[in-house]
Amino acid sequence: MPRRQTIVSTARLVSASIALLLIMACRVDASISTDDQAAPISFERQVQPILAKSGCNSGACHGALAGKGGFRLSLRGYDAAADHFSITQELRGRRIDLSDPGRSLFLSKPSGAVPHQGGLRLPVDSQDYRILSQWIAEGATGPSTNVAPLRSLQVSPDVSRLLPGQDVQLKVTAHYADDSVADVTAWSIFSSTDEAIAGVNPSGKVSIRGSGEGAVLVWFDSQVRLARLTVPFPNHVSPELYANSPRRNFIDHLNLKQLESLQLPPSPRCDDETFLRRASLDTLGRLPTTDESDAYFANPSETRRDQLIEALLASPSFVDYWTYRWSDLLLINGTRLRPEAVKAYYQWIRKQVENNVPWDDFVRQVVTATGTSFENGATNFYALHQSPEDMTENVSQAFMGLSIGCARCHNHPLEKWTNDQYYSMANMFARVRTKGWGGEPRSGDGLRTLYVAAEGELVQPKTGRPQPPAPLDGEPLPFSDPSDRRTVLATWLTDPQNPYFSRAITNRVWANFYGRGLVEAVDDLRLSNPASNEELLAAASQHLVDHRFDLKQLMRTILQSETYQRSSQPLAENREDSKYLSRYFPRRLMAEVLLDSIDQVLGTSTSFKEIAFPGADRQAIDFYPEGTKAIQLYDTAIASTFLKAFGRHNREITCDCERSDQPSMVQVLHLSNGDTLNPKLAKTGNWIEQGMQQGWDDATFIDQLFHVALMRKPSDQERQRLLAVAQEYPAAERRQALEDLVWSVLTSTEFTFNQ
Domain assignment present for 351: no
Burial 643-665 (b: 16+ CB within 10 A, else e): bebbbbbbbeebbbebeeeeeee
> Is position 328 within any domain?
no
Residue 335 pLDDT: 85
For the ranges 318-332, 533-547, 598-612, which has the lowest average pLDDT? 598-612
Examine the fold and report which residue of 80, 104, 137 is the final residue of a domain before the chain moves on.
Answer: 137
- 687-708: average pLDDT: 96
DSSP letters spanning 352-409? HHHTT--HHHHHHHHHT--EETTT-GGGHHHHH--SHHHHHHHHHHHHH----GGGGT
Q: Express each pLDDT in 163-211 by its tens digit.
A: 999 999 999 999 999 999 999 999 999 999 999 999 999 999 999 999 9
Q: What is the predicted pLDDT for the residue at 721? A: 94
* Domain interval for residue 466: 358-494
Distance (Å, whole) CA 12 – CA 97: 12
In a domain, 222, yes or no: yes
The more confident residue out of 251 and 607 is 251
Residues 579 and 595 in one domain: no
> pLDDT value at position 205?
97
Sequence-distant (6+) residues with CB within 8 A of 403 are 393, 396, 397, 523, 524, 526
Is there a domain that residue 183 lies in? yes
pLDDT at 610: 67
pLDDT at 341 over 70: yes
pLDDT attached to residue 336: 87
> What pLDDT score was predicted for residue 625?
84
Report yes or no on 704 lying in a domain: yes
| pLDDT average, residue stretch 222-244 | 94
Q: Is the model's pLDDT at 214 over the cut of 90?
A: yes
Residues 220 and 163 in one domain: yes
- By percentage, how much of the chain surpasses pLDDT 90? 75
- Section 679-691 average pLDDT: 96
| pLDDT score, position 117 | 85
pLDDT the model gives residue 609: 77
Burial of residue 549, with CB atoms counted within 10 A of its CB: 0-12 exposed, 13-18 middle, 19 or more buried: buried
Which of 569, 585, 601 is at the close of a domain? 585
What is the per-residue pLDDT for 33?
A: 44
Q: pLDDT digits over 21-47, tens only?
A: 444 444 444 444 434 455 799 999 999
- 40 occurs within a structural domain: yes
Asked if residue 635 lies in contact with residue 332, where contact means CB atoms within 8 angstroms, the answer is yes
Residues 488 and 578 in one domain: no
Per-residue pLDDT for 443 more than 70? no
* Cα 90 to Cα 617: distance, rounded to the nearest angstrom: 55
Q: Note whether 622 and 579 are same-domain residues.
A: no
- The answer to whether residues 672 and 746 belong to one domain is yes
Q: How confident is the model at residue 611 (pLDDT cuts 50, 70, 90)?
A: low
Instruction: Give the pLDDT of residue 439.
Output: 44
Q: Which of 494, 519, 539 is the last residue of a domain?
A: 494
Per the CB < 8 A criterion, the answer to whether 729 and 736 are in contact is yes
Average pLDDT over residues 395-400: 96
Give yes or no: residues 728 and 599 share one domain: yes
Q: Is the peptide bond before 157 cis (omega within 30 degrees of 0)?
A: yes
Q: Indicate if 128 and 222 belong to the same structural domain.
A: no
> How confident is residue 75, by pLDDT bands cut at 50, 70 and 90?
confident
Supply the mean pLDDT for the chain.
90
Q: Give per-residue pLDDT as tens, 282-309.
A: 999 999 999 999 999 999 999 999 999 9
Nearest to 437 by CA among 448, 422, 424: 448
| 657 and 708 together in one domain | yes
Q: What is the mean pLDDT of residues 124-148?
A: 92
Looking at the fold, whether 488 and 546 belong to one and the same domain comes out as no
Q: Do 63 and 199 lie in a common domain?
A: no
Amino acid in position 139: G
At 416, is the pLDDT very low, low, confident or very high (cuts 50, 70, 90)?
confident
Question: Of 429-438, 471-480, 524-533, 620-629, which range is least confident?
Answer: 620-629
Share of the chain above pLDDT 70, in %: 92
User: Does residue 307 sit within a domain?
Assistant: no
Answer yes or no: is pLDDT of 644 > 80. Answer: yes
Query: What is the predicted pLDDT for the residue at 16?
Result: 43
Distance CA 127, CA 23 (A): 11
Between 343 and 620, name the one with better pLDDT: 343
More confident residue, 25 or 238: 238
Q: What pTM was computed for the model?
A: 0.89
Q: Report which of 182, 57, 196 is spatially closest to residue 118, judged by C-alpha positions.
A: 57
Q: Is residue 486 part of a domain?
A: yes
Are residues 247 and 253 in contact, defined by beta-carbon separation less than 8 angstroms? yes
688 and 746 assigned to the same domain: yes
**47 and 53 in contact (C-beta within 8 Å)?**
no
CATH classification of the domain holding 204: 2.60.40.1080
State mean pLDDT over 248-270.
Answer: 98
Q: How confident is the model at residue 8 (pLDDT cuts 50, 70, 90)?
A: very low
Are 581 and 613 contained in the same domain? no
Number of domains in the chain: 5
Question: How much is the pLDDT for 20?
Answer: 42
Q: Report pLDDT digits (tens) over 485-532.
A: 999 999 999 999 998 999 999 999 999 999 999 999 999 998 889 999
